[in-house]
Amino acid sequence: MTIKVYNTLGRCKQELVPLRPGRIRMYVCGPTVYDSCHIGHARSVVVFDVIYRYLKARGYDVYYVRNFTDVDDKIINRANELGISCEALAGQYIDEFHVDMKAINMRPPDMEPLATGHISQIIEIVGLLIEKGYAYEAQGDVFFSVQKWPEYGKLSGRRLEDMEAGARVEVDHRKHSPFDFVLWKASKPGEPAWESPWGKGRPGWHIECSAMSAQYLGETFDIHGGGKDLIFPHHENEIAQSEAAFGKTSASYWIHNGFININQEKMSKSLGNFLMIKDIVKKWHPEALRLFIVSSHYRSPLDYTRQAMAEASASLDKIYGLLERVAHVFDHWPPETEDSGDHEKSDSGTDLWQRFCDAMDDDFNTARAMGLLFEAVRSLNRQIDEQGAGSACLSPGGRARIADMLRIGDVLGLMEDSPARYFQMRKQAVLDSQEIDPEWIEEKIRQRKDARKAKDFALADQIRDELQALHITLEDRPEGTIWKHGDGKT
């Protein structure tokens, strides 16, 4: 079984062949830390988190690096506006980023380097590029000369001539070509600055990634990822400078995730429709956000709407509803499911994990994987129905299927809560949003129970309707009545 990935470099699916068997080195462009993380960051970060988890689940030794860009124009501008130092601003948003990542169940990368921690490596690469004739200095700035690099444009599929024909191009007469980009920037007074052979300055945007990826993963590594928008110019420039400096291939596979729109509009400052991760997780379970993201293919555009999130949330309820039944059957969570180990087909034939791998091997097709997951949910619900409540065990096939489901959850970052905790959280959200005392609900349930006992169904139904209007749904179970969050329909 081989994994196929869509490589932006070449624009086709290719077999994933690691540079060294069994080992994968991947680098993903992290955020520029000058503001809070929005849902677009969430998608990128979730997509690569799932890829990371999957490769590990498939037995690869993975080393995953995601950087922070902690020096650039936006940070400087913002810090000046706020009257604080760049370090303080960056530090604040790095901390916030970590809080957000934890909230959405991200596995931390193996390394999270800072651009400012790698100035000497950056200076070294810039020097190398000048030495080799790919870069030139002009009044303290150092530019990369795109005309000296014949392969410039190979990632984004652009040709210099085409771009020059139509693009709006800044006029900087020191540049040999309008598309030359800055490797090292002379600092203005008050800006962060480091000593360099070209005077006091700071790194350009792209060079940091060349320096950090080379340092932690080697000059050639396996996977380089990021958002689609980074293809040009960021990754195009990065690939040019890295390959020119080191004289070898940079990354084998370039993976780019698609964008998220909000109600079919691009997120933008002017529309004021930026959705921050910290706000989303206040309203929804973090796994609902993850499920929303993995429900479509990572390269497709994704439209965020309230309804789409509500559907993702309902889907998650369905999954946890099954887990709750499983917990009840086993009287235990997590259930004691003897892991089927090599996951060969058991008697009743669970090849769920294998089919999941088939989907994921095809360019990380998580949408197809979700279909499999829901089929498994249905089949397990059916099995539990057929056995009847109180039955203490599930067939070996059922147990293996549950084990597979949880294993899939480990990859997608779903089903990581216990069902009890999950529904408790959902209930708590109802209580908090309406300032309801749970004891009051219990009292209502007792009143309804008495009414039902007395066959006063009119009263019983009236109580239930009253609760339903408050988004509280009752379920009469053999062992008694429980309540769950509901949609408020009466």
Partner RNA sequence: GGCGGCAUAGCCAAGUGGUAAGGCAGAGGCCUGCAAAGCCUUUAUUCCCCGGUUCGAAUCCGGGUGCCGCCUCCA
Within 220-259, which residues bind RNA (CB under 7 A)?
Answer: 226-234, 257-259
Closer residue to RNA, CB minimum distance, 18 or 152: 152
Contact between 466 and RNA per CB under 7 A: no
Helix (H) or strand (E) holding 182: strand 181-186
Closer CB to RNA, 30 or 413, in the complex: 30
Q: With H, G, I as helix, E, B as strand and everything else as coil, classify residue 176.
A: coil
By CB under 7 A, the residues from 23 to 42 that bind RNA are 29, 31-32, 38, 40-41
Q: Using CB under 7 A, which of 98, 345, 446, 477 touches RNA?
A: 477
What does each C-alpha distance from 176 to 72, 123, 166, 172, 222 come to in angstroms? 23, 21, 18, 9, 33
Nearer to RNA, 55 or 373 (CB): 373
What residues have CB less than 8 Å from 161, skipping those under 6 apart? none
Question: Cβ closer to RNA: 53 or 464?
Answer: 464
- For residue 126, the surrounding DSSP H or E stretch is helix 119-131
Write down the least CB distance from residue 229 to RNA, Å.
5
CB closer to RNA, 264 vs 342: 264
Residue reference for tokens 């809070």: 36
Of 54-62, 187-195, 306-314, 431-439, which segment contacts RNA by CB under 7 A? 306-314
Distance (Å, whole) CA 148 – CA 465:
74
One residue of 9, 24, 44, 485 binding RNA per CB under 7 A: 44
Residues in the chain: 490
Query: Per-residue DSSP letters for 261-289?
Result: EETTEE--TTTT---BHHHHHHHS-HHHH
Report the residue from 110, 219, 410, 461 that binds RNA according to the rule CB under 7 A. 461
Question: Of residues 108-167, which lie at the interface with RNA (CB under 7 A)?
Answer: 156-159, 162-163, 165-167
- Range list of β-strands (E), 120-231: 135-138, 141-144, 181-186, 201-203, 221-227
Amino acid at 151: E
Q: Which of residues 324-363 bind RNA (CB under 7 A)?
A: 362
Binding mask 56-85 for RNA (x = CB under 7 A): -------------x--xxx-----------
Positions 167 through 206 that interact with RNA (CB under 7 A): 167-169, 205
Size of the site for RNA (CB under 7 A): 82
Find the DSSP H helices in 132-235: 160-166, 207-217
Can you tell me the distance from the alpha carbon of 80 to that of 190, in angstroms, rounded to the nearest whole number?
9
**Count of alpha carbons within 13 Å of 384, Cβ hemisphere only?**
22
Region binding RNA by CB under 7 A among candidate stretches 86-94, 136-144, 311-319, 334-342: 311-319
In one-letter notation, the amino acid at residue 134 is Y
Q: How far is the CB of 341 from RNA (least distance, A)?
A: 27
Amino acid at 453: K
Nearer to RNA, 40 or 201 (CB): 40
Which tokens sit at 34? 């000058």
Strand, coil or helix: what is 231?
helix
Binding string to RNA for residues 368 to 407, with x set by CB under 7 A, is what?
x-xx--xx-xxx-xx-xx----------------------
Closest distance to RNA from the beta carbon of 242 (Å): 17
Strand partners, 474: 483
Judged by beta carbon, residue 18 or residue 42, the one nearer RNA is 42
Instruction: Tell me if 474 contacts RNA by CB under 7 A.
Output: yes
Tokens of 127: 């020097």
Among residue numbers 433 through 452, which ones bind RNA (CB under 7 A)?
Answer: 452
